Chains A and B, each alone.
Chain A
Amino acid sequence: MMIETGHFALVLAFALSLAQVVLPLVGARTGDARLMATGRPVAITCFAMTALAFAALVMAYVLSDFSVVNVFENSHSQKPMLYKVTGTWGNHEGSMLLWVLILTLFGALVAAFGRNLPATLQATVLSVQGMVGAAFFLFILMTSNPFARLNPAPIEGRDLNPILQDIGLAIHPPLLYLGYVGFSVCFSFAVAALIEGRIDAAWARWVRPWTLVAWVFLTGGIAMGSFWAYYELGWGGFWFWDPVENASFMPWLAGTALLHSAIVMEKRGALKIWTLLLSILTFSLSLLGTFLVRSGVLTSVHAFASDPSRGVFILAILVFFIGGALALFAWRSQSLAPGGLFHPISREGALVLNNLFLSTATATVLVGTLYPLAIEAVTGDKISVGEPFFNLTFGPVFAVLLVAVPFGPLLAWKRGDLFAAAQRLTMAFALAALAGILALLFLDRNAALAALGIGLAFWLVFGALTDLALRAGIGKVTPRTALRRLVGLPRSAHGTALAHLGLGLSTLGVVAVVTLQTETILTMKPGETVDVADYTLRFEALSPHRGPNYTEDQGIFPVFNADGDRIATIMSSKRLYTARRMPTTEAGIETLGLSQLYVSLGDETDDGGVVVRIWWKPLVTLIWLGALVMMIGGTLSLADRRLRVGAPARPRKAEPAAAAP
């Protein structure tokens, strides 16, 4: 009963999303308050129905109900409970259900917290949000129904892809989807503004927090995906320029640009049209990512099932929304009033520069991702565009952007003084240069690139700190006053500094790993030792173990420091998942400070040895810690109380609206 109730709730959600498209839009266009008012309860009910459907599917997984095709294909009765639950979205159908769940959640949030929005704007936004929802509900019901049934039901499932049986599956997709889908709100706001033909003053204030929410989650989702790939795939790479990764990275780049242009728009009323366009592009890139991953155009661990009809369907959705929004943009954007003026050297100018570079970076990633697909479609040749391409194109663009980052916050609005800003950054520059020189002297005298990269990373970190120090007036006022002012700074100022600092930390991690990591591959027999960095690893033994749904050979490696003290034990294993007869490697990772030792087991040799790969990854954890700092920065900025716009008091009947105090 539970399952069919969930199935019905899903169908009901589809019907409601259609009502959500039509009623508020007709209301907004004709000025009918009652029709506009339907948007809110319908959006909230639509979310409730989707949540019910999702809960039913989760229950089917938890209870191992193999009469549901989706559960049979992706679960197993002996799987640990956590993976039964996460397995709900570890497959195509379930992940699409999670997608619409989050989409309707954002619709419901706009409905619940949008009381201070002009009524027509809110109604139109909900209608556009409903359109996206309706398209995806239809997609799910027609091509990817998670509630398809099997009769008679098999007694055991086929188990989840072992690579996905990991805590990462509990975190990565939901975060990523919250990010992807969060941008749908910005998209809806942009399209609503175009439909209405005017941009309210509240528009930017509303778009910025939504962009921030989506951006924070997307940052977390990408970082988690990178971390997961790092420890699960067994060779310690943290970024592969894999098309699927690029698909999530492009909305992030565009979203970062949107975040910055939304600041200009909020503060100065400028860049309105550009912000609209970015809102549309960012969500379009999210949709493109969904298309690339879900259509089977790309084969990767993310492509759960490839079915041409699904690809065509998503392509149609893609064409409708991107094409429709851009056509609307071309048609209506001229009628929008342009915003305020500014000098090229100013905070606005710096943010425009940031936008130009981020857009260029997005474009290079887009080309690198789509070019191989286009070549394959036209000539049938399979080419792969990998690291060298992105190092040559994306690398320089992003490096220049990173150099410019610390200047931005130091420039004044409207008219800035670049020279003064540079003067204030002298200290940060000196410290960064010192870091680079120290790296050159003490780490590797031949690694000029590493030294430059490390210098750049510290430039970002000290630049962000300089910004905070200047705002607090450190050095100009008494330390007590400075501290009080530092604490009293608006949260968005802390947010900016933290986000830029996090960017610096991530850069440091990436540079250190790319330029300074060491790799050792050797055959080890029990009792043998090997020196890696400043540590010594001993291979103790390979012993068999049995997990709930797998068997594994565990290799035990005690780690000794330079003094010969045993400081840690690394366990690295090779698993065989019994249901799918699929082997996986479970890397052994030991964190030492901010760096990590990464041990991965290879094949056994005839003479009783085993091939062992050991990496020393200096400062690798900073890559993800930096992302975490960025997320904290974004959250702080989101919590800034200035963002809460009060709703205008509803006039009493007798009083005219203009007389409100």
Chain B
Amino acid sequence: MVFWLFLALLTIAASLAVLLPLARRPQTHVPASAHDLEVYRDQLAEIERDRQRGLIGESEAEEARAEIGRRMIKLEAAGTEGSARASRFLPIVAAGAVLGVPLLSWGVYATIGSPDLPAQPLAQRLEKDPRDNTLDELVARAEGHIRANPEDGRGWNVLAPIYLRLNRPEDAVVAYRNAIRLLGSDAARETGLGEALFAEAGGIVTKESADAFRRALEAGGNDNPKARFYLATAQAQEGRLEEAVAGLTALMGDLPQASPWRGVVGQALARAQAELGAPVAGGPSSDDVAAAAQMNAEDRAAMIETMVASLDERLRDNPADADGWRRLVRSYSVLGRKDDARQALERGLKALGADSEAGQELRDFAGTLGLGAVE
């Protein structure tokens, strides 16, 4: 409301600028020749000043005066022009302008403006009720908080997994490190750090990353499939395939039947066993380890599988995530696991409500992937 009032005031100001001079009595017309005469008089005075200061000689001054005098005579010979008169166009032009300025400006603004969109200064956005914030805003808020209080371990602890999810592994590593420094080491944080380091290295379980997973197992015991899986992956990546197979087999034995990790672990196990069947002649060398740094297709597939499994697990804990379900369905579909994709779709529909808007969208989305509607 205030906004529209303001716009109206501006429009009135603009219209007045056009209207007022038109409404006023016209000033007495001064012919252009009077202005010229004034200039010549100034020039005469200037010559006099220059002469007094000795900047020009008497004869030069005389000549200049004569020339200006000639111009003044010429001016008088030309005579004065007609005086001011009112134009017969005045009413038309005036009416056009007075109406045109508001009409044009409101018309153009109505086409290109966004009057309903409020200004959104960053500071104000970050201060509003957290429930209204988008994820990005929440992160920015938390970042602002952390910048102001860099010793707040809990803040780092909250931010770290979010960074990981937003695919910002560098930031996640820093956040996990700070959380561990301030709150101490525990299984969840060390696992997260290991995962972040793994992502930062582009899908390689580096020594640093493996150390973190080992610390996680020390702190929280063996009931940590993620850490165990990554450690086994590390061994596989280093070419210690027997150890990897042993680790994965043990993990497989410990996993409950419903665990989403079973698929990933099973595949990794199969792959490791296959490689073990045809070991590289001469065993792993430093070159092989270096070559592992250049991720091959299999490694990449393994990484994707891992991520999909994490997502699956997360959706079990937190099913009200329409985006997540969509990603999961697409991931399975891209990996060619149609049955899993269909299962995920069913689970998603159940979680979101098959008739809800989100459910409908998910169903439509699945349709575009070639997954038939599931009732």
Partners in one complex: yes
The answer to whether A63 and B34 touch (CB under 8 A), given A23-B97, A37-B26, is: no
Chain B nearest Cβ from A293, distance in angstroms:
25
Q: Could you say which of B34, B60, B104, B122 contacts A15, with CB atoms under 8 Å apart? A: B104
- Per the bound structure, the CA–CA distance linking A490 and B36 in Å amounts to 23
Chain A nearest Cβ from B164, distance in angstroms:
18
- Contact yes or no, B22 A116, CB < 8 A: no
Q: Which residues of chain A are near B22, meaning CB under 8 Å?
A: 34-35, 37-38
B17 interfacial contact with A, CB 8 Å = yes
Binding site for B on A (CB under 8 A): 1-5, 7-9, 11-12, 14-16, 18-19, 22-23, 26-27, 30-35, 37-38, 40-42, 44-45, 49, 52, 60, 63-67, 77, 116-121, 141, 145, 147, 149, 151-156, 198, 200-202, 205, 269, 340, 412, 414, 471, 473, 485, 488-490, 642, 645-648, 650-651, 653, 657-658, 660
- Per the bound structure, the CA–CA distance linking A646 and B67 in Å amounts to 21
- Per the bound structure, the CA–CA distance linking A152 and B88 in Å amounts to 53
The answer to whether A1 and B32 touch (CB under 8 A), given A32-B86, A63-B123, is: no
7 other A-B residue contacts (CB within 8 Å) besides A26-B89, A65-B120, A269-B71: A5-B10, A32-B87, A37-B27, A63-B124, A118-B30, A340-B67, A648-B34
Interface string of B97-137 (1 = CB under 8 A from A): 10011101100110011110111111111000000001011
B2 interfacial contact with A, CB 8 Å = yes
Stretch at the interface among B38-46, B258-266, B304-312: B38-46
- Per the bound structure, the CA–CA distance linking A16 and B139 in Å amounts to 45
- Contact yes or no, A41 B117, CB < 8 A: no
Q: Which residues of chain B are near A646, meaning CB under 8 Å?
A: 38, 42
Which among B31, B113, B119, B124 has the highest number of chain A CB atoms within 10 Å? B119
- Contact yes or no, B100 A15, CB < 8 A: yes
26 contacts between A and B (CB under 8 A): A3-B119, A7-B109, A12-B105, A16-B17, A26-B89, A31-B84, A33-B27, A34-B24, A34-B86, A34-B90, A37-B21, A38-B18, A38-B97, A64-B121, A64-B123, A66-B120, A119-B30, A149-B114, A155-B136, A201-B39, A485-B53, A645-B39, A646-B38, A651-B28, A651-B30, A657-B30
The answer to whether A5 and B37 touch (CB under 8 A), given A12-B105, A45-B13, A658-B80, is: no
Closest chain A residue to B42 by CB distance? A645
B219 interfacial contact with A, CB 8 Å = no
- Per the bound structure, the CA–CA distance linking A102 and B361 in Å amounts to 52
Q: For the side of the interface on B, what is the size category?
A: 35 or more
Main secondary structure of the interface of B (DSSP, over half): helix
- Contact yes or no, A45 B14, CB < 8 A: yes
Chain B nearest Cβ from A600, distance in angstroms:
29
B148 interfacial contact with A, CB 8 Å = no
Interface string of B1-20 (1 = CB under 8 A from A): 01100110011011001101
- Contact yes or no, A118 B35, CB < 8 A: yes
- Per the bound structure, the CA–CA distance linking A154 and B137 in Å amounts to 8
The answer to whether A202 and B36 touch (CB under 8 A), given A34-B86, A155-B136, is: yes
- Contact yes or no, A153 B42, CB < 8 A: no
- Contact yes or no, A4 B3, CB < 8 A: yes
Closest chain A residue to B89 by CB distance? A26
Q: Which residues of chain B are near A119, meaning CB under 8 Å?
A: 29-30
- Per the bound structure, the CA–CA distance linking A64 and B120 in Å amounts to 8
- Per the bound structure, the CA–CA distance linking A151 and B116 in Å amounts to 11
The answer to whether A33 and B120 touch (CB under 8 A), given A14-B108, A648-B38, is: no
- Contact yes or no, B34 A657, CB < 8 A: yes
- Contact yes or no, B54 A65, CB < 8 A: no
B289 interfacial contact with A, CB 8 Å = no
B370 interfacial contact with A, CB 8 Å = no
Q: Could you say which of B7, B119, B137 contacts A60, with CB atoms under 8 Å apart? A: B119
- Per the bound structure, the CA–CA distance linking A642 and B104 in Å amounts to 44
- Contact yes or no, A153 B3, CB < 8 A: no
Q: Which residues of chain B are near A145, meaning CB under 8 Å?
A: 112
- Contact yes or no, A149 B117, CB < 8 A: yes
Q: Which residues of chain B are near A2, meaning CB under 8 Å?
A: 119
B320 interfacial contact with A, CB 8 Å = no
Q: Which residues of chain B are near A40, meaning CB under 8 Å?
A: 21
- Contact yes or no, B39 A205, CB < 8 A: yes
- Contact yes or no, B27 A8, CB < 8 A: no
- Contact yes or no, A49 B115, CB < 8 A: no
B55 interfacial contact with A, CB 8 Å = yes
The residues in B between 340 and 368 inclusive whose CB is less than 8 angstroms from any CB of A are none
Q: Which residues of chain B are near A118, meaning CB under 8 Å?
A: 30-32, 35
Q: Which residues of chain B are near A37, meaning CB under 8 Å?
A: 21-22, 24, 26-27
- Contact yes or no, A65 B10, CB < 8 A: no
Q: Which residues of chain B are near A151, meaning CB under 8 Å?
A: 114, 117
The answer to whether A648 and B37 touch (CB under 8 A), given A34-B22, A34-B26, A488-B53, is: yes
B73 interfacial contact with A, CB 8 Å = no
Chain B nearest Cβ from A658, distance in angstroms:
7
Interface string of B139-152 (1 = CB under 8 A from A): 11000000000000
Q: Which residues of chain B are near A117, meaning CB under 8 Å?
A: 35
- Per the bound structure, the CA–CA distance linking A3 and B101 in Å amounts to 21
- Per the bound structure, the CA–CA distance linking A653 and B28 in Å amounts to 8
Q: Which residues of chain A are near B40, meaning CB under 8 Å?
A: 201
Q: Which residues of chain B are near A156, meaning CB under 8 Å?
A: 136, 140
